[in-house]
Amino acid sequence: MARRDYYEVLGVKKNAGPDELKKVFRTLALKYHPDRNEGNAEAEQRFREVAEAWDVLGDPEKRSRYDRLGPLYTDSGRPPSPDQVNDMLREAFGGLFRRRRADAPGEDLTYTLTVTLEEAAQTIDRTLVIQRQVRCVRCVGTGDHPENRTSCASCGGSGKSATRRVFRTECPACDGKGYKPAARCDRCNGEKRLPLEETLRVKVPAGVATGSKLRLRQKGNDPAPAYGAAGGPTGDLYVLVQVSEHALFKRRGPDLLAEVPVTLAELALGADLVVPTLDGTTTIRLPPGTPSGKSFRLNGRGLPGESGKGDLHVRVEVETPTELPADARLALLAALTASTHPRRSEYQSAMKVRR
């Protein structure tokens, strides 16, 4: 069915001729074409509307039928269904005419799952305990007492309306149920659903990151339809993953960064340095004269990613002593001369020129 006035979409009067329609269409199609408006969702929607309007108004037979039917026009030429008429009236009158919502789905649920960085490095199974709403089995989701009903006199138990078929197909007296309840369901008290605590297993894939979303189909709430015992599909459960902060590692996608404090002696003289990994420790060699801030890359010791496992980057940072015994201070001053710090000597020479 036509949702908008096609003449309004093209910006022409209803008596516009074929040549004028064609000219306007070409201008608008060129203006809003996706190739000229990449990433512009509003222009893409406008282009579809213009193309839809031209498809109807550019065809003499379709245009003639559209002029007769207006918003009741359909591409097939068949009269609109009662549900389509309901949709149109609901949009036009703000819900004055009710629409059957027996097919409304159940609500989706969310669950936040926290995992450690070590767990994120491998595929794991976790157990979740969730609270969800499930359809009452006693009343089959109607909310009515299953043994305390009377047949609807208006429709004879069929649930179909014999009048006003243009606007509604279900019986207005019983809302399409075919009966009138005399009491609420004694188990759900007419709520149609009951709370249920359920234990589920979820597989968390290796390499998962904070913000990742896992979907468990039909593990959300059951629907609570507005009419009858029918209903749409059960909602889904979305598991939102949160990877906790780590004391030793920072994450950069699939790569890991570890900052390791070292002594001045280890950098100056060289050392075998024990560093952390996700599955334990390993040892790297610091060459003599290693500068503070240097990074060492350990290939494939990071997290799983789309292109394979990431790397572990170990950055060494010198920890400057804040307190030294007097004899150690004297020994350090004696050992650290201009020859041990050539860059410092060059800097001091350059500074003398500025005095």
- Sorted by sequence, the CB contacts under 8 Å of residue 110 that are 6+ apart come out as 237, 238, 239, 240
pTM: 0.59
For residue 162, what pLDDT is reported?
A: 55
Q: Which domains can be identified in the chain, with CATH numbers?
A: 6-80 (1.10.287.110), 250-320 (2.60.260.20), 326-355 (no CATH)
pLDDT greater than 70 at residue 166: no
What's the chain's average pLDDT? 83
Go through 227-237 and write b for each residue having 16 or more CB atoms within 10 A of its CB, e for each that does not: bbbbbeebbbb
Q: What is the mean pLDDT of residues 302-308?
A: 91
- DSSP H helical segments within the chain, as ranges? 6-10, 18-32, 41-57, 60-69, 82-93, 117-120, 264-269, 326-335, 342-352
Q: What is the mean pLDDT of residues 101-110?
A: 80
Pair type for strands 255-262 and 312-318: parallel
- Greatest mean pLDDT among 12-16, 153-157, 217-221: 217-221
pLDDT greater than 70 at residue 89: no
pLDDT greater than 70 at residue 286: yes
Q: What is the mean pLDDT of residues 284-294?
A: 95
Find out whether 193 and 133 touch, Cβ atoms under 8 Å. yes
Tokens of 337: 């001369």
Q: Which of 5-14, 225-234, 244-253, 317-326 has the lowest mean pLDDT?
A: 225-234
pLDDT greater than 90 at residue 315: yes
pLDDT greater than 50 at residue 1: no
Q: What is the mean pLDDT of residues 50-55?
A: 89
Q: Residue 290 and residue 101: Cα distance in Å, rounded?
A: 71
Find out whether 168 and 82 touch, Cβ atoms under 8 Å. yes
First to last CA, the chain: 86
- Sorted by sequence, the CB contacts under 8 Å of residue 108 that are 6+ apart come out as 220, 221, 235, 236, 237, 238
SS3 of residue 63 by DSSP = helix
- Sorted by sequence, the CB contacts under 8 Å of residue 98 that are 6+ apart come out as 86, 90, 168
For residue 169, what pLDDT is reported?
A: 60
